[in-house]
Amino acid sequence: MQGWKCERCGFTHIAEAIEKIPSRCPSCRSTRVKSIIIRPEGEDRYELSIREIYGILDRITELPVPEQEDARKTLRESGGVHVLCLDERKGRLSEVLTRNELEGYLSLIRTQNFGLAVIGHSVVAISPDSPIRPHVGLNRSKLDELEGLSEP
Ligand SMILES: [Zn+2]
């Protein structure tokens, strides 16, 4: 099967037939929308294990900055875990997220069953098919914070 995916927020669309790829992601408006091949059902989409994901999140605030960026990318691409705020002790969500990012994540949480959690010191949004999604829910106080920020 084919479809497309936003490389920025992870919004994914599976095409029933051949379809034109939109120029902008409907969720976050990014132009980084790429066609993808959907793997057969049952095949794991993410390579990281639950233990590896928690291991990276436990260490991430201690890493040098360039390695933090690599770790964020690995978590996102191989674990379905998006780091919204690396270290919540150092700043609130309003200081680290742009308005587009904020609304993109809220949309993923509302419409695509993403989770929202604080793991270690990081605030993370978790894709519905991430290995850790069954273990985390929706952190109410962080969701309230996101929703409060998205109000005009
Ligand atoms: Zn997007």
What's the pLDDT tens digit per position in 102-144? Answer: 989 998 999 888 999 999 999 999 999 999 999 999 999 999 9
Same domain, residue pair 10 and 60: no
Same domain, residue pair 87 and 22: no
Threshold 0.85, pTM exceeds: no
End-to-end CA distance of the chain: 39
Same domain, residue pair 58 and 20: no
Instruction: Please give the distance, rounded to the nearest whole angstrom, from the Cα atom of residue 111 to the centre of ligand 1.
Output: 13
Sign (positive or negative) of CA dihedral 101, 103, 109, 112: negative
Domain for residue 45, yes or no?
no
Domain for residue 42, yes or no?
no
Please give the DSSP secondary-structure letter assigned to residue 90: S
Domain for residue 43, yes or no?
no
What is the domain extent for residue 119?
50-150
Instruction: Please give the distance, rounded to the nearest whole angstrom, from the Cα atom of residue 112 to the centre of ligand 1.
Output: 12
Same domain, residue pair 55 and 116: yes
C-alpha 87: how far from chain center: 16
- The DSSP line for 12-74 is EEE-SS--PPPSS-TTT--S-EEEEEPPPTTS-S----HHHHHHHHHHGGGS-HHHHHHHHHH
Same domain, residue pair 24 and 55: no
Instruction: Please give the distance, rounded to the nearest whole angstrom, from the Cα atom of residue 67 to the centre of ligand 1.
Output: 24
Q: Do 89 and 122 touch, CB atoms closer than 8 A?
A: no
Same domain, residue pair 64 and 135: yes
Tens digit of pLDDT for each residue in 9-64? 999 888 777 677 889 999 999 999 987 866 655 556 788 999 999 999 999 999 99
Instruction: Please give the distance, rounded to the nearest whole angstrom, from the Cα atom of residue 17 to the centre of ligand 1.
Output: 21
Instruction: Please give the distance, rounded to the nearest whole angstrom, from the Cα atom of residue 14 to the centre of ligand 1.
Output: 14
Instruction: Please give the distance, rounded to the nearest whole angstrom, from the Cα atom of residue 32 to the centre of ligand 1.
Output: 7
3-state SS class at 104: helix
Q: Do 138 and 109 touch, CB atoms closer than 8 A?
A: yes
Same domain, residue pair 81 and 23: no
Domain for residue 22, yes or no?
yes
Domain count, the chain: 2
Same domain, residue pair 56 and 22: no
Tens digit of pLDDT for each residue in 65-99? 999 999 999 999 999 999 999 999 988 888 889 88
Domain for residue 44, yes or no?
no
